[in-house]
Structure 1
Amino acid sequence: MIVLRTLLPWLMALAFLVTGAAAQEMEDRAEFGSGETRLLLRSTTDIAILRPVIQLFADRNPDLTIVYEQWGSNDLFALSRAGCREESEPADAVFSSAVQHMVWLVNAACARQVQSPLASALPPARRWRNELWGITTEPAVIVYNKAAISGAEVPRTRFALLDAMRTRPEFFRGRIATYDIGASGLGFLFAYADSLEATSFGSLLEGFARIEAVATCCSAEIIRGVAEGRYLMAYNVLGSYVLGDQSAEIGFILPEDYTLLLSRAYMIPRQARQPEAAERLLDFLLSTPVQAQLADAGLVSPIDDAENGLAPSARRFIPLSPALLVAMDRNRRAALFAIWDDAFRRATGP
């Protein structure tokens, strides 16, 4: 966990990580089934969230043993690059929320093409070159602690969040959280998308710096902090972790000025040892019953429902397209980190 104003040193660490030179550390591992064929699935999604879905797939495919490895997004990217270069064991399937990494891997000829009716039927924003597919629909939300903040007080736009931080700085000091963009590829992606979309972006960073907002690596950690009251609010948290959490202590809103919408991306590496099994998993994940099961887990969000729906004009889908390659450009990455550092320095003084 780090205070946001200390992010500049992460720039050098991030550049080191992107080269794939940093050591990778697996976060969790599980096996499903007992078949003779081993399917290696590497993912950023918490095993607990996908466990029922993967167990069902294993039950329906008794010839397979599914080895599920959970990784942080930056580590998964570095490991996938190494697998593409045949420097480490390749996965049979990669499933990541840091979709800019996945677009980069496809563009670098690290993916295998698949012809699948279900995959081809996806909207254009959720597929690219028959090599990358968006499985989920998840919004970036504002999360809050219900005991500390009533529903009427929750900021429903970024400008309202700015006003809240300006008028009650001591109340919020050190108690608003967001992703650490140096440690989280997803956090970097959301910050990058905000920088393109929001006229409030610079002011928002200054506001975070003034109230000493906290950046940390992981969705689950942030949600737990809000539920426990260590944080009053969290910004740009992936909504699936909230929708899948039945805690009575937390609530969420979809920002009404705009809400980012992400589809976790699935790819079958070119070097996959079990590509046919990985194709079976792709079709399984896109099937109607499993999409309903993913919705129950919070991974397919109800953006159209009456209670928590989102106006079409406020929806900002992050497409699986070459446009995301810009987010991977070293100069663009350095510029975004510089904007963050500059905002914190101007907000706090020399």
Structure 2
Amino acid sequence: MRPFARLLVCLLMLSPLPAAAQEATARFGTGDIPFLLRSTTDIEIIRPVIGRFAALNPELAITYEQWGSNALFELSRADCRAGASGADAILSSAVQQMVWLVNAACAHAYRSATTQALPPTRRWRDELWGVTTEPAVIAYNKSLLPGDEVPRSRFALLDALRARPEFFRNRIATYDIAASGLGYLFAHSDSLEATTFGALLEGFARVDAVATCCSAEIIAGVAEGRYLIAYNVLGSYVLNADAANVGVILPEDYTLVLSRGYMIPKTASRKAAAARLLDFMLTPEAQTLLMRAGLVSRMEPAETGLAASARRYIPLSPALLVARDPNRRELLLQFWSDTFRRAETP
């Protein structure tokens, strides 16, 4: 690996900046017992699942708060440190932050036959559980990029950027890892997996790639033609964007697979209800609803055409703690600002 690439691998092992505050709120059920779920998942995507749980638990009045991942982490950490009764359950795509919270003794332990049936990569210490299965994909505009020109691996994407830099200039988008905990997780995972990592980021810099905060914004940009390609976006958000001209590629060299992390805070007031929600989300009924919402994908080769060796599940484990090394934060953010320009509102 070249020195520049080695530097990038080291740089990516630190924590992101705080994000914006609470984004939206929804309520489910009309019971007398309040229950607060804080999550990074868009309300409209997960609405059928929470709505069904509310119907099965009519005594609950569920408040669902949608947050940016960094803001949710900071609030959850503050509640833990203060011993404050905040959320009854937390569901986040930035699982490195969830692992940190568990390691900091912020979680309540729970075990059931349902949770024990999860594979080891989707549960840790009976305090954190992965409830979804979502690949990180390359999304592209089907109207502007013919199928035979779509890069189907990181190697092919790198070759395309080198061959046609002006064609792709300002038209490649990915997450801003300073603003997105999920984007940071994917970048960190790439740094551990990809031999192309350093070269690919150099390629992004050469074509003035855009780094922005949010899945919806990135995918909308691809649908509108502002971007030709979005790198490392969650496939679930592409499926829910209802954009017929946005295609999806599972990278053939390897595809990262995320399971959103569910945690019951140790300060939760409704731990029993939180445990019921967890068990429900792992039932066949809820998994089917999550599949319809795009939050659960069948990753078998027969379903995806992707070789089993190309699947990279991001495990819920202490290994993710290295992604939150604060001592290298300033250096990474300086590098990131030099590599990408932030997307501007048209």
Equivalent of residue 297 in structure 2, options 286, 296, 301: 301
Matches within 5 A, 1:316-327: 316-327=312-323
Alignment correspondent of 1:214: 210
Moved more, 112-121 or 325-334: 325-334
| C-alpha contact (below 8 Å) 1:134/1:266 kept by paired residues | yes
Map 1:1-350; keep pairs closer than 5 Å.
17=17, 25-86=21-82, 89-304=85-300, 306=302, 308-331=304-327, 333=329, 336-337=332-333, 340=336
What's the CA shift for 1:15? 6.6
Q: What do residues 263-319 of structure 1 show as CA deviations (whole Å, max 9, x unaligned)?
A: 000000000011111011001100011101101111111222646332111011110
Residue 109 of structure 1 aligns with an amino acid whose one-letter code is: A
The structural deviation recorded for 1:54 is 0.6
- Specify the code of the residue in structure 2 equivalent to 1:147: S
8 Å Cα contact 2:218-2:230 kept in structure 1: yes
What is the one-letter code of the residue matched to 2:110?
V
CA distance in 2, matches of 1:92, 1:116: 18
Answer yes or no: is the 8 Å Cα contact 2:174–2:233 preserved in 1: yes
1:348 aligned residue: none
Q: Deviations over 1:131-184 (max 9, x none)?
A: 000000111100000000111111011111011111111111101100000000
User: What amino acid is aligned across from residue 186 of structure 2 in structure 1?
Assistant: F
Judged with a 3 Å threshold, the aligned counterparts in structure 2 of structure 1 residues 335 and 298 are, in CA distance, closer, same or farther, namely same
Offset of residue 334 of structure 1: 5.0
Alpha-carbon distance in 2 for matches of 1:37, 1:210:
55
Q: Structure 2: state its 5+ residue gaps.
A: 1-10, 341-346
Give ranges in structure 1 of 5+ residues lacking alignment: 1-10, 345-350
CA contact (8 A) 1:302 1:309 kept: no
Distance 1:78 1:333, change over 3 A: same
Q: Which amino acid aligns with 1:151?
A: G
| Contact map agreement 1:32 1:54 (CA 8 A) in 2 | yes
- Between the aligned partners of 1:88 and 1:220, the Cα distance in structure 2 is 32
Counterpart CA distance in 1 for 2:16 and 2:200 is: 28
SS in structure 1 opposite 2:145?
A: coil
Q: Is the partner of 1:85 in helix, strand or coil?
A: helix
Q: Tell me, what secondary structure is at the counterpart of 1:40?
A: strand
TM norm structure 1? 0.89
Q: Which amino acid is 1:80 matched to?
A: S
Residues 1:334 and 1:120: Cα distance change in structure 2 (over 3 Å): farther
Tell me the distance in 1 between the aligned counterparts of 2:148 and 2:17: 42
Q: SS where residue 139 of structure 2 aligns?
A: strand
TM-score (norm 2): 0.90
Aligned residues: 329
**Taking every aligned residue pair, what percent have the same amino acid on both sides?**
68
- Structure 2 CA distance for aligned equivalents of residues 46 and 323 of structure 1: 27
Cα distance in 2, alignment partners of residues 16 and 149 from structure 1: 33
Does the 8 Å CA contact 2:16/2:70 hold for their aligned counterparts?
A: no
RMSD, aligned CA: 2.0
Amino acid at match of 2:116: S
